[in-house]
Amino acid sequence: MRPHDIKTKIFLDSGDPDETRQVLDLLGFLDGQTTNPSLIAKKLTGKTKKFTRDELLAGYKHIVQEVASLLPQGSVSIEVYADHQTSADEMARQAREMFAWIPNGHIKFPTTSAGLAAAEMFIKEGGRVNMTLVFSQEQAAAVYAATLGAKKGDVFISPFIGRLDDRGEDGMSLIKNIIEMYKTGDSHVEVLVASVRSLDHFTQSLGLGADIITSPLKILKEWADSKFSKESAGGGNKLQTIPYQEISLEKNWHNYIITHELTTVGVQKFADDWNKLL
């Protein structure tokens, strides 16, 4: 049973169904799970020397189906393969295939022009999406605009806070800014805090009222050890606050600044981790 006073949904960030089982034992509930190419590659590394593309995809499908069977009421995020050459049509094609793997999937697309175009198409077809590798408020506005018309629950946005912290920017302030900006909209996009690196990230996200947090097993263990604390230790980090920007949600999504250096690097890293297994 989830603690009755926790409104935020708690997801596990992992490509390993054994960890799903551990969290269910530990917490007694789990609202969903997010995967990505790096996490799946980590799980499949060492199973066999190299995979064909079909074998690798079959390995991903197998993992996702096992997780979905453990979380029948939850959501399981599955990420398309994308490098900087992958077209929107190709991402949408993969999305249709992956979405059919399980009844409770959300498809992750990178928050790039091609990824947003694919998500726009996929939402119109009745799909569910999780827009990943988000590092700016402008990207969050673009996600909102590209998915207008979707119903609540069908669109997640994943800002990666740890990777902003890594370069001295306060990722948590981006979460705060996106939540603030979305108050001016129709609430169809749910904010899913990703790249969580500490219990403090976790508790601060609870405090901000994020819709969803996805967290590695290690942090969920720390949260359980803290007796499901909602208090942030707070204070004292030397990170640069990201200032709030007044951004209208009313524009066409093509008119926002979509590029971000960390998104570019992140797309490449996911593709590289995947390709290493081929």
Tell me which stretch binds ligand G3P (CB under 6 A): 67-75, 155-163, 176-184, 217-225: 155-163
Tokens read off for 212: 């969803």
160 in contact with ligand G3P (CB under 6 A): yes
**Smallest distance from ligand G3P to CB 34, Å:** 5
**What residues are labeled active site?**
108
Residue with tokens 């740890």: 162
Binding residue for ligand G3P, selected from 9, 10, 13, 165, defined by CB under 6 A: 13
d(CA 7, CA 95): 29
Q: Is residue 185 at the binding interface for ligand G3P, with CB under 6 A as the rule?
A: no
Asked if residue 81 lies in contact with residue 108, where contact means CB atoms within 8 angstroms, the answer is no
Site for ligand G3P (CB under 6 A): which residue of 195, 198, 204, 232? 195
Q: Which of 75, 86, 111, 214 binds ligand G3P (CB under 6 A)?
A: 214
Q: Does position 260 bind ligand G3P by CB under 6 A?
A: no
Q: Which positions from 83 to 122 touch ligand G3P by CB under 6 A, shown as an x/- string?
A: ----------------------------------------
Q: Do 30 and 2 meet the contact criterion of CB atoms below 8 Å apart?
A: no
What Rg do the C-alpha atoms of the chain give, in angstroms?
A: 18
* Cα distance between residue 185 and residue 188, in whole Å: 8
**Nearby residues of 152 by Cβ (< 8 Å), 6 or more positions away:** 187, 188, 190
Binder among 106, 163, 201, 260 for ligand G3P (CB under 6 A) = 163
Contact 10/75 with Cβ under 8 angstroms?
A: no
Asked if residue 194 binds ligand G3P (CB under 6 A), the reply is yes
Supply the minimum distance, in Å, between the C-beta of residue 11 and ligand G3P.
9
211 closest CA partner among 156, 134, 148 = 156
Contact between 76 and 64 (Cβ < 8 Å):
yes
75 binds ligand G3P (CB under 6 A): no
Cβ atoms of residues 38 and 243 within 8 Å: no
Instruction: Give the range of 158-166, 176-184, 229-237, 240-248 binding ligand G3P by CB under 6 A.
Output: 158-166
Binding residues for ligand G3P, rule: CB under 6 A, are: 13, 34, 36, 158, 160, 162-163, 194-195, 214
